[in-house]
């Protein structure tokens, strides 16, 4: 039979042009994502193919993969297919060897895997980033990643797509996704979200016009003219290209449409006998194969859209030659086509998923059961151990074959493998299916049920689904005991439960640990004992019990050392050393440094990639605490990014952003805070995300943009609603400081009071005594700043009357009220909040109290100490503290308040903190001092502008306007809000008599030639 597949692309000029433009942009470094949407058979894949050909011609790296419908999810399937295709084409990832990215890719592509990759930390985000890097690096001309049939994609592939869609801008990679938009799917949800946030565009493919359909049919027949009877046939196709080819193929297969030397001609009355549906056309061609061959093809359909033909003889019970002959015939009638297989050999696949659907729809249930059973048996026999995706396919066939236990067993295996690849969603789906199969089965198999739930517990832990863990663990413990299982299994369940959010249920965690320790004791199992101690150490650290943490950590370490520091012992040693070092860091930086060096040594010798980076992170954090230097942390951040250690990189971005927010480079701080928010959201670390949003709020404080501060604070609060730690930060830091920068002390105290009420709650929970971050994650973070600030406010707000600069005594007058301030200082010291910036606040607070007690010398010395502590940060911090204590210093006679205030006034002036500048002048004036002229900027005003009344401050802005800077840019430069800039610009327009900003810019540019 002649092939009647359309050899050319008909129509679609607009669609292809749009895709070509996206390709141009990507090649020029402006990558992006485009969805090709439309119904089945309308021509999405055909259009995608045309784009791939273009990209290949341009020398771009092209990778393609497709989703396939299956009841058992195969994680990363389309992505893995794309990568394996690239590997077959000779691509080798040229990334640093230690890198986690290569290991992540190795988990999907056997050719790229190295021994030891199993230890790598793999997740959709890491694989997504690895794919992005691979595509960007592979060719100078850019890359195209084509993922087809997103409606069938597994959840991990969707997570990767979600990640890529947001990460492509600025790369030279184009991501194209085809999607059926007329059936609900998770892929469709993703598409809607991505287009709603405008990170992706759409090319919608609609049905062909009657003219195009005729053109296509003619092209199919390679005939210049379409026989008229054929035209009549095309009416049933209704513009659907797939239907055109199907109907024509059916007509050719039945002999109704035939070719001789003079061209195509029609036999008989076509229009009445041609099937009027795709299913009908498939059915008639299948029948044309004859019963034996048709049976082979039906078995193939049971195996999947793409199938391994070598299984067919066994499944269909025919000799190999017969199977091949059937395939050949099916290819000729356009039911099946050859396809490249993962291994590079040739396999076959149904021409379209609709083709396979049509065949399966005609199958009676008992027949399906038989063929599926034969298929599963054939796979188990020819692929021992069920490597790769064979496990999922066999499980799917066992389900169809009504063999629930066999299916459930394979689903457990599949879920275990999924978890190794960080594919938690697929694992949970597989396990849920297994549970359901066992529940519906007539025969009960409690042991298998326990196995399913043991893996489920692991999956919940990986997913951070803490609510599900406690009840499942309790249930499992009972069932394991009832089944008389190995007690080690019970101990492992308990360890899992004890290490998931122990801060929420400390008593239960302790109970689990005690029980696990008892089992270890009874069995004299040193691995179990030291693992139990390591978990106990971590929990103690989280609860702020440093001595206990160190003690347990050292015990676990000793056992691990005795066991030779390999295998489990290396793992335990690393975990314990991390806990020991973090406990030490709270008290003795040098000791912590030694411990982390040891950690690094073990990680290096064991080639434990992620641990090496974690060790360096700890060391550089100590360095930051010791010397205030961020350079090493920056280096490690790069290292973490290169290696795909996203968790570490995200925490470092928070540390660095927080530090930078106290300095003068607020732009860098903002970039870090934002990038941290983004990656924290991606790896689902809400606490880090919320804290990074708090850092953003603090930056808006310094920029005197109250609205944006409020907006960011509200966003931080929305990430973890009602969380006391976050509320302490948004109220006690962002809002208090925002009020202080406006010199609104009443408001600052009111906000501080709100913060204090949350602080009580935050500090009441044991994990928060030391600050969640300080001990377990990153030290010196935000919540504790609120505590130090609170102490300073408490000190300056007591014992002062009215007319002292606007401070109202919130705690009454006289030294008796100093008790509150004293308690606040002590609290700050006790909670480890007495370092660097915080130490500056506390020193000034102490100075106020000493001065009030009559000890002037000590007060002056403490103020000097405060200035020294603030020395490494932006000047406004020290000036703000001095503005707060100046009235006390004037009254009690310590320090040098007059020169402080003069200095602060002019400094605030130059940074645009006008309210603080005039507050400083106010205090001076009331103290009877001569007050410097206000409104000074730094620029000299030319005479002609001076005559118009332009001030020096306005001149600063005028100059920047002339350089074409935006309000936001000017605001950033001069440390004032864009709104203030706008006010100055309006005033400049008035004074210079220009009509609008554009004229003002032109005027300024003339005046100040660049
Ligand atoms: N514009 C077109 N020109 C020629 N043939 C087309 C066109 N659109 C689709 N086809 C053919 O129709 C069939 C179905 O198209 P396909 O791209 O697989 O549909 P989809 O991916 O939307 O399900 C394919 O064999 C394809 O070659
Ligand atoms: Mg398609």
Summarised one tens digit per residue, pLDDT across range 437-489 is 999 998 888 999 999 999 999 999 888 777 899 999 999 999 999 999 999 99
Label residue 771 left, alpha or beta by phi (over 0 means left) and psi (-120 to 50 means alpha).
left
Residue 109 has pLDDT above 90, yes or no: no
Q: Are 701 and 741 in contact (CB under 8 A)?
A: yes
Residues 6 or more apart in contact with residue 789 via CB below 8 angstroms: 732, 733, 736, 737, 752, 841
Q: Of 459, 421, 311, 446, which is closest to residue 371 (Cα–Cα)?
A: 311
Q: How many CB atoms lie within 10 A of CB 589?
A: 16
- Whose alpha carbon is nearest atom 15 of ligand 1? 43
What confidence score (pLDDT) does residue 657 get? 94
- Whose alpha carbon is nearest atom 16 of ligand 1? 43
Q: Of 712, 653, 634, 646, which is closest to residue 682 (Cα–Cα)?
A: 646
Over residues 499-513, the mean pLDDT reads 87
What confidence score (pLDDT) does residue 101 get? 80
Instruction: Give the residues surrounding ligand 1 with Cβ less than 6 Å away.
Output: 5-6, 9-12, 38, 40-46, 216, 241-242, 245, 352
The token pair that represents 614 in the structure block: 């974690």
CA pair distance 893, 887, nearest whole angstrom: 10
| Residue in this structure with the two tokens 């930051």, named with its chain if needed | 624
Residues 6 or more apart in contact with residue 960 via CB below 8 angstroms: 969, 970, 973, 974
Ligand 1 atom at minimal distance to the Cα of residue 8: 4
What confidence score (pLDDT) does residue 1005 get? 79
Ligand 2 centroid to Cα of residue 611, in Å, is 43
SS3 226: coil
Q: Print burial letters for 965-987: b (CB count within 10 Å at least 16), e (below 16).
A: bebeebbbebbbbbebbeebbeb
Ligand 1 centroid to Cα of residue 990, in Å, is 64
User: What φ, ψ does residue 115 adopt, rounded to 5°?
Assistant: -60, 140
What confidence score (pLDDT) does residue 687 get? 84
Residue 938 has pLDDT above 70, yes or no: no
Confidence grade of residue 817 (pLDDT, cut at 50, 70, 90):
low
Q: Going along 50-155, which residue ranges are E strands? A: 61-66, 143-148
From residue 305, give the alpha-carbon distance in Å to each of 108, 180, 359. Answer: 21, 17, 11
Cα 37 from chain centroid (whole Å): 26
The token pair that represents 433 in the structure block: 């299916």
| Residue in this structure with the two tokens 């053109």, named with its chain if needed | 215
Ligand 1 centroid to Cα of residue 245, in Å, is 9
User: What dihedral do alpha carbons 148, 149, 152, 155 form, nearest 10°?
Assistant: 50
CA pair distance 728, 756, nearest whole angstrom: 7
**Nearest ligand to the C-alpha atom of residue 42:** 1
Summarised one tens digit per residue, pLDDT across range 674-689 is 999 998 888 778 888 9
Lowest mean pLDDT among 27-31, 202-206, 839-843, 957-961: 957-961
How many residues belong to the chain?
1010
Cα 719 from chain centroid (whole Å): 15
| Residue in this structure with the two tokens 């970039």, named with its chain if needed | 671
> What residue spans of 588-705 are helical by DSSP H?
589-605, 609-627, 631-643, 646-660, 666-682, 686-702
Ranked by mean pLDDT, the top range of 113-122, 915-924, 960-969 is 915-924
Q: What is the DSSP string of 712-741?
A: HHHHHHHHSTT-HHHHHHIIIIIIHHHHHH
**Nearest ligand to the C-alpha atom of residue 334:** 1
Strands 61-66 and 201-204: unpaired
Q: Element (H or E) spanning 124, and its range?
A: helix 124-138
Task: Using most ligand atoms within 8 A of CB, pick from 13, 209, 241, 305 the residue to mutate for ligand 1.
Answer: 241
Q: Are 480 and 493 in contact (CB under 8 A)?
A: yes
Long-range contacts of 222-227, Cβ-Cβ distance < 8 Å, separation of 24 or more: 222/7, 223/263, 223/264, 227/264, 227/265, 227/266
CA pair distance 688, 647, nearest whole angstrom: 10
Strands 143-148 and 173-179: parallel
Residue 955 has pLDDT above 80, yes or no: yes
What confidence score (pLDDT) does residue 807 get? 34
> What residue spans of 402-445 are helical by DSSP H?
404-420, 424-440
**Nearest ligand to the C-alpha atom of residue 212:** 1
CA pair distance 985, 636, nearest whole angstrom: 43
CA pair distance 631, 448, nearest whole angstrom: 53
Ligand 1 centroid to Cα of residue 271, in Å, is 23
What confidence score (pLDDT) does residue 378 get? 96
Q: Element (H or E) spanning 259, and its range?
A: strand 257-260
The token pair that represents 632 in the structure block: 């090493």
User: What φ, ψ does residue 112 adopt, rounded to 5°?
Assistant: -100, 0
- Whose alpha carbon is nearest atom 23 of ligand 1? 41
**Nearest ligand to the C-alpha atom of residue 43:** 1
Summarised one tens digit per residue, pLDDT across range 657-677 is 998 999 988 999 999 999 999
Q: Are 104 and 130 in contact (CB under 8 A)?
A: yes
CA pair distance 968, 632, nearest whole angstrom: 31
Cα 843 from chain centroid (whole Å): 40
Residue 574, classified by CB atoms within 10 Å of its CB into exposed (0-12), middle (13-18) or buried (19+), is buried
CA pair distance 28, 43, nearest whole angstrom: 28
Residues 6 or more apart in contact with residue 808 via CB below 8 angstroms: 745, 746, 749, 797, 802
Q: Are 175 and 132 in contact (CB under 8 A)?
A: no
Summarised one tens digit per residue, pLDDT across range 495-505 is 999 998 787 78
Confidence grade of residue 930 (pLDDT, cut at 50, 70, 90):
confident
CA pair distance 833, 788, nearest whole angstrom: 7
Instruction: Please state, for a pLDDT cut of 70, what percent of the chain lies above it.
Output: 91
Residue 785 has pLDDT above 60, yes or no: yes
Ligand 2 centroid to Cα of residue 179, in Å, is 8
Ligand 1 centroid to Cα of residue 666, in Å, is 53
Cα 414 from chain centroid (whole Å): 25
User: What φ, ψ does residue 337 adopt, rounded to 5°?
Assistant: -140, 155
Confidence grade of residue 932 (pLDDT, cut at 50, 70, 90):
low
Ligand 1 centroid to Cα of residue 77, in Å, is 23
Over residues 695-717, the mean pLDDT reads 95
Label residue 781 left, alpha or beta by phi (over 0 means left) and psi (-120 to 50 means alpha).
beta
Residues 6 or more apart in contact with residue 325 via CB below 8 angstroms: 293
DSSP 150: G
Greater model confidence, 775 or 788:
788
Q: Element (H or E) spanning 348, and its range?
A: strand 346-350
Interior angle at CA 408, CA 407 and CA 413, nearest 5? 100
Greater model confidence, 969 or 936:
969
Strand partners, 64: 146
Residue 319 has pLDDT above 90, yes or no: yes
Ligand 1 atom at minimal distance to the Cα of residue 216: 4
Residue 551 has pLDDT above 80, yes or no: yes
**Nearest ligand to the C-alpha atom of residue 41:** 1
- Whose alpha carbon is nearest atom 12 of ligand 1? 242
Greater model confidence, 115 or 915:
915
Summarised one tens digit per residue, pLDDT across range 804-815 is 333 333 333 444
Q: Of 131, 156, 609, which is closest to residue 421 (Cα–Cα)?
A: 156
Over residues 332-340, the mean pLDDT reads 88
Chain-wide mean pLDDT for the chain? 87
Ligand 2 centroid to Cα of residue 478, in Å, is 50
SS3 111: helix
Q: What is the DSSP string of 935-977?
A: ---SSPPPHHHHHTT--HHHHHHHHHHHTT--HHHHHHHHTS-
CA pair distance 194, 33, nearest whole angstrom: 9
Strand partners, 201: 34
Task: Using most ligand atoms within 8 A of CB, pick from 8, 46, 356 the residue to mutate for ligand 1.
Answer: 46
User: What dihedral do alpha carbons 915, 920, 926, 929 form, nearest 10°?
Assistant: -130
Q: What is the DSSP string of 272-289?
A: HHS-SSHHHHHHHHHHHT
What confidence score (pLDDT) does residue 738 get? 96
Summarised one tens digit per residue, pLDDT across range 619-651 is 998 888 777 788 999 999 988 887 777 888 898
Residues 6 or more apart in contact with residue 520 via CB below 8 angstroms: 491, 526, 528, 529, 532
Residues 6 or more apart in contact with residue 41 via CB below 8 angstroms: 240, 241, 242, 243, 278, 352, 354
Q: Element (H or E) spanning 336, and its range?
A: strand 336-340
Ligand 1 centroid to Cα of residue 738, in Å, is 60
CA pair distance 814, 256, nearest whole angstrom: 108
Ligand 1 atom at minimal distance to the Cα of residue 241: 12
Residue 23 has pLDDT above 90, yes or no: yes
| Residue in this structure with the two tokens 């066991």, named with its chain if needed | 563
Greater model confidence, 98 or 473:
473
Task: Using most ligand atoms within 8 A of CB, pick from 36, 50, 64, 242 the residue to mutate for ligand 1.
Answer: 242
Q: Are 156 and 419 in contact (CB under 8 A)?
A: no
Residue 770 has pLDDT above 70, yes or no: no
């Amino acid at each position: 039979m002649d092939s009647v597949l359309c050899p050319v692309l008909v129509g679609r000029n607009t669609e292809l042009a749009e895709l070509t433009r996206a390709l141009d942009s990507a090649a020029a470094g402006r990558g992006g994502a485009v969805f090709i949407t439309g119904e089945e058979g309308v021509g999405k894949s055909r259009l995608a193919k045309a784009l791939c050909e273009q990209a290949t011609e341009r020398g771009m790296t092209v990778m393609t993969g497709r989703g396939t419908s299956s009841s058992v999810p195969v994680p990363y399937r389309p992505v893995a297919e794309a990568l394996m295709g690239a590997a077959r084409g000779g691509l080798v990832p040229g990334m640093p060897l230690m890198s986690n990215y290569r290991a992540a890719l190795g988990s999907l592509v056997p050719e790229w895997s190295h021994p030891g990759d199993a230890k790598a930390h793999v997740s959709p985000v890491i694989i997504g980033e690895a794919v992005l890097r691979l595509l960007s690096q592979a060719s100078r001309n850019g890359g195209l990643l084509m993922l087809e049939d997103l409606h069938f994609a597994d959840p991990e592939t969707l997570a990767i797509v979600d990640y890529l869609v947001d990460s492509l801008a600025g790369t030279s990679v184009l991501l194209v996704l085809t999607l059926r938009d007329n059936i609900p799917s998770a892929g469709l949800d993703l598409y809607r979200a991505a287009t709603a946030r405008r990170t992706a565009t759409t090319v919608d493919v609609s049905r062909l016009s009657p003219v195009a359909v005729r053109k296509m049919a003619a092209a199919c027949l390679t005939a210049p003219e379409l026989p008229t009877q054929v035209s009549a046939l095309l009416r049933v196709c209704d513009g659907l290209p797939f239907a055109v080819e199907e109907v024509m193929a059916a007509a050719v297969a039945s002999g109704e449409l035939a070719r001789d030397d003079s061209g195509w001609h029609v036999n008989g009355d076509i229009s009445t006998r041609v099937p009027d549906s795709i299913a009908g056309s498939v059915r008639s061609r299948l029948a044309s194969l004859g019963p034996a061959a048709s049976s082979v093809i039906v078995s193939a359909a049971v195996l999947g859209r793409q199938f391994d033909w070598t299984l067919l003889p066994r499944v269909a019970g025919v000799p190999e030659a017969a199977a091949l002959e059937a395939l050949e015939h099916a290819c000729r009638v356009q039911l099946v086509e050859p396809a490249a297989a993962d291994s590079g050999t040739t396999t076959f696949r149904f021409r379209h998923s609709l083709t396979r659907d049509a065949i399966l729809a005609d199958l009676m249930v008992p027949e399906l059961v038989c063929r599926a059973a034969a298929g599963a048996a054939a796979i188990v026999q020819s692929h021992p151990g069920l490597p790769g995706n064979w496990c999922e396919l066999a499980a799917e066939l066992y389900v169809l074959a009504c063999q629930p236990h066999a299916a459930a067993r394979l689903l457990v295996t599949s879920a275990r493998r999924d978890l190794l690849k960080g594919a938690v969603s697929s694992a949970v789906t597989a396990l849920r299916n297994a549970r359901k199969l066992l529940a519906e089965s007539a025969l009960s198999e409690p042991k298998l049920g326990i196995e399913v739930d043991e893996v489920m517990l692991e999956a919940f832990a990986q997913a951070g689904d803490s609510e599900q863990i406690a009840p499942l663990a309790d249930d499992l413990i009972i069932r394991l005991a009832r089944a008389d299982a190995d007690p080690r299994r019970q101990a492992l369940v308990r360890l899992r439960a004890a290490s998931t959010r122990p801060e929420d249920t400390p008593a239960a965690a302790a109970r689990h640990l005690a029980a696990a320790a008892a089992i270890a004791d009874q069995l004299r199992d040193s691995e179990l004992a030291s693992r139990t101690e390591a978990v106990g150490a971590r929990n103690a650290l989280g609860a702020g019990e440093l001595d206990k943490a160190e003690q347990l950590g050292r015990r676990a370490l000793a056992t691990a050392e005795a066991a030779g520091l390999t295998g489990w012992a290396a793992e335990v040693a690393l975990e314990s050393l991390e806990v020991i070092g973090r406990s030490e860091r709270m008290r003795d930086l040098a000791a912590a440094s030694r411990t982390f060096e040891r950690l690094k040594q073990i990680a290096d010798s064991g080639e434990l990639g992620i641990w090496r980076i974690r060790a360096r992170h700890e060391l550089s954090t100590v360095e930051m605490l010791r010397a205030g230097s961020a350079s090493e942390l920056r280096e490690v951040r790069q290292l973490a990014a290169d290696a795909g250690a996203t968790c570490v990189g995200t925490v470092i971005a928070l540390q660095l952003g927080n530090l930078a927010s106290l300095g003068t480079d607020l732009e860098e701080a903002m970039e870090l805070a934002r990038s941290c928010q983004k990656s924290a959201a991606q790896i689902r670390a809400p606490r880090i995300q919320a804290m990074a949003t708090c850092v953003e709020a603090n930056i808006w404080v310094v920029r005197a943009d109250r609205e944006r501060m409020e907006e960011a604070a509200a966003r931080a609060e929305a990430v973890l609603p009602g969380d006391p730690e976050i509320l302490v930060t948004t109220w006690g830091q962002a809002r208090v400081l925002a009020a202080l920068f406006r010199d609104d002390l009443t408001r600052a105290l009111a906000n501080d009071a709100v913060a204090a009420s949350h602080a009580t709650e935050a500090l009441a929970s044991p994990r928060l005594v030391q600050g969640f971050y300080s001990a377990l994650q990153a030290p010196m973070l935000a919540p504790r700043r609120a505590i130090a600030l609170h102490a300073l406010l408490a000190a300056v707000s007591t014992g002062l009357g009215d007319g002292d600069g606007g401070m109202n005594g919130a705690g009454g007058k006289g030294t008796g009220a100093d008790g509150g301030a004293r308690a606040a200082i002590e609290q700050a010291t006790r909670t480890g909040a007495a370092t660097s910036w915080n130490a500056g606040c506390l020193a000034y607070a102490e100075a106020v109290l000493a001065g009030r007690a009559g000890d002037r010398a000590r007060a002056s010395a403490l103020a000097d100490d405060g200035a020294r502590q603030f020395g490494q940060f932006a000047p406004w911090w020290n000036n703000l503290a001095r503005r707060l204590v100046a009235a006390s210093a004037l009254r009690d006679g310590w320090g040098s308040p007059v020169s402080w205030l003069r200095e602060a006034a002019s400094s605030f002036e130059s940074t645009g903190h006008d309210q603080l500048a005039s507050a400083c002048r106010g205090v001076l004036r009331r103290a009877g001092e001569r007050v410097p002229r206000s409104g000074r900027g730094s620029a000299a005003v030319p005479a002609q502008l001076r005559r118009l009344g332009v001030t020096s401050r306005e001149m600063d802005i005028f100059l920047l306007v002339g350089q074409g800077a935006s309000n936001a840019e000017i605001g950033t430069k001069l440390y004032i809000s864009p709104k203030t800039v706008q006010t100055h610009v309006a005033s400049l327009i008035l004074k210079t008599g220009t009509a609008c900003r554009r004229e003002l810019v032109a005027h300024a540019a003339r005046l100040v030639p660049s």
